[in-house]
Amino acid sequence: MSKIGIIGGGIIGLSSAYYLNQSGHEVTVIDQSDLSDGCSHGNAGMIVPSHFIPLAAPGMVAKGIRWMFHSSSPFFVRPRLNGDLIRWGLLFLKSANEKHVAAAIPALKELSLLSKFHYQQWAHDLPFNFGYHERGLLMLYQTKEAEHEESETAHRANDIGITAKILSGEEVQQLEPYVKVNVRGGIYFPGDAHLTPKKLFNRLKSYLQKKGVTFVTNSAVSAFQFHGQNIQSVQAGDQIFSFDQIVLAAGSWSGLIAKQLALTLPMQGGKGYSFTLPEVEKNVQIPSIFLEARVAVTPMENSLRFGGTMEIAGLNHSVNLKRVKGIVDSIPKYYPEMKVAMPMAESIWHGLRPCSPDGLPYIGRSTKIKNLVIATGHSMMGLSLAPATGKLVSEIIDEKKTSMVLTAFSPDRFQR
């Protein structure tokens, strides 16, 4: 049995703790927050094998530039003279090409399907309900441009074995008996699923505590001591810990922690917002994404969550109400009978999603630090890819053959 320290208590950290605990290790999770909030709580709760194209793809640069000049648009990069941001942007530009996309698709697809398989196991094995449903996902569009683009994605999905159905507006409406839908059409991915994030996170954390996992909260990691090529100790808050192996799963803060370790791990926090309507009498049945608005919609029992935006504005927690208004204003365009008021500031959730510049997560052992495994950079896919990532982390630490080849996710791929 080894002593494992996991830096980061989001869903990636908890998933890693789950499988490492199952393997018989003594696991400690360290986080700078009290774990009552974060990306693992307020996200859209989608498990999406349909999202096999990385964020860094042809066309995203042009869209991003166009969106940047609109205050309520779904994407924004706050211009600032910051070396890390500039380098991240240049790496993103370098990655946004068809060659990168073609190489990334098989890896993302395999990781997503592996994760969904483990979610199915969790839903069967864990002694609690976390709102897991397999109802698929609707990609809704209103314009010819979006129809053409998404139809191409649907054909590509079917070519690689991800079922996608191109639907007319009338066919979309048939899938939504309780809510009027105003769309030109949509792509239906029946293999996607969803869950209630806060239920999963809180119940999994309690389960892990009962299984002997230790949680050290409100303790930011401030220093490391080395012995040769191994981390000997970690200082977090006013405590010093010694571990045999360390997992870096600190989300958007992973890049800063990597700097303390003299590692290059390009990362930017992509701020997203969500709000949830409680007790919706006539609810949406299938999770959906408004393509033109880039807004995600997820039914969670009797409530309905709306989320969106990607705001690259540094590691800060300021709330840009214009971005939230963009989400609110999009709702009646797609659901014309659904009148949603601007939510109160205190009911708006926001979180920083860890974005790598090529749209792929970092999963693997560091080649520079022998007892460090890195699991971060999942962008908007953290919840979706969490169980697979946790399983892979445990396999790496146990020196077992991994469930899939991890070359595309190498944490050393941007090392200078």
Mean pLDDT of 298-309: 94
Q: Which tens digits make up the pLDDT trace of 78-94? A: 667 788 888 988 898 88
pLDDT at 71: 54
Measured CA to CA, the distance from residue 378 to residue 250 in angstroms comes to 11
Which of the 8 DSSP states describes residue 252?
A: G
The band of 227, judged by pLDDT with boundaries at 50, 70 and 90, is very high
**By percentage, how much of the chain surpasses pLDDT 70?**
94
The band of 97, judged by pLDDT with boundaries at 50, 70 and 90, is confident
Kind of pairing between the strands at 230-236 and 221-227? antiparallel
Q: Which tens digits make up the pLDDT trace of 337-372? A: 998 999 998 899 988 999 999 999 999 999 999 999
Sorted by where each begins, the domain ranges of the chain are 3-409
Measured CA to CA, the distance from residue 157 to residue 214 in angstroms comes to 41
Tokens at 324, concatenated: 């939230």
Reply yes or no on whether the pLDDT at 60 is more than 70.
no
Higher pLDDT, 37 or 176: 176
Mean pLDDT of 127-131: 97
CB neighbour class for 49 (10 Å; exposed up to 12, middle 13-18, buried from 19) = buried
Q: Which tens digits make up the pLDDT trace of 264-277? A: 999 999 888 999 99
Q: For tokens 């320290």, what's the residue? A: 5
Contact between 402 and 392 under an 8 Å Cβ cutoff? The reply is yes
Beta bridge partners of 415: none
Contact between 29 and 9 under an 8 Å Cβ cutoff? The reply is yes
Angle (deg, nearest 10), helices 98-125 and 382-397: 80
CA angle 256, 259, 260 (to 5 degrees): 100
Q: Which tens digits make up the pLDDT trace of 392-413? A: 999 999 999 999 999 999 999 9
Q: Which tens digits make up the pLDDT trace of 171-204? A: 999 999 999 999 999 999 999 999 999 999 999 9
Picking from 264, 304, 380, 320, the residue whose alpha carbon sits closest to that of residue 76 is 320
| Helices and strands, number each (H, E), in the chain | 11, 20
Helix (H, G, I), strand (E, B) or coil at 189: strand
Mean pLDDT of 65-90: 71
The band of 68, judged by pLDDT with boundaries at 50, 70 and 90, is low
H/E stretch holding 256? helix 254-260
Measured CA to CA, the distance from residue 35 to residue 205 in angstroms comes to 9
The band of 72, judged by pLDDT with boundaries at 50, 70 and 90, is low
Measured CA to CA, the distance from residue 372 to residue 97 in angstroms comes to 31
Higher pLDDT, 71 or 88: 88
Mean pLDDT of 51-67: 71
Contact between 226 and 232 under an 8 Å Cβ cutoff? The reply is yes
Contact between 249 and 257 under an 8 Å Cβ cutoff? The reply is no
Rg of the chain, C-alpha, whole Å: 21
Reply yes or no on whether the pLDDT at 73 is more than 70.
no
The CATH homologous superfamily of the domain defined by 3-409: FAD/NAD(P)-binding domain (3.50.50.60)
224-228, 235-239, 314-318, 396-400: which has the minimum mean pLDDT? 314-318
| Dihedral pair phi/psi, residue 179, rounded to 5° | -130, 130
Residue type, 308: G
Reply yes or no on whether the pLDDT at 150 is more than 70.
yes
Helix (H, G, I), strand (E, B) or coil at 353: strand
pLDDT at 345: 86
Reply yes or no on whether the pLDDT at 241 is more than 70.
yes
Helix (H, G, I), strand (E, B) or coil at 48: coil
pTM of the entire predicted model: 0.95
Rounded to the nearest integer, the mean pLDDT of the chain is: 92
**By percentage, how much of the chain surpasses pLDDT 90?**
79
Which of the 8 DSSP states describes residue 140?
A: E
Mean pLDDT of 96-121: 95
Mean pLDDT of 144-171: 97
Measured CA to CA, the distance from residue 194 to residue 384 in angstroms comes to 9
Measured CA to CA, the distance from residue 273 to residue 27 in angstroms comes to 32
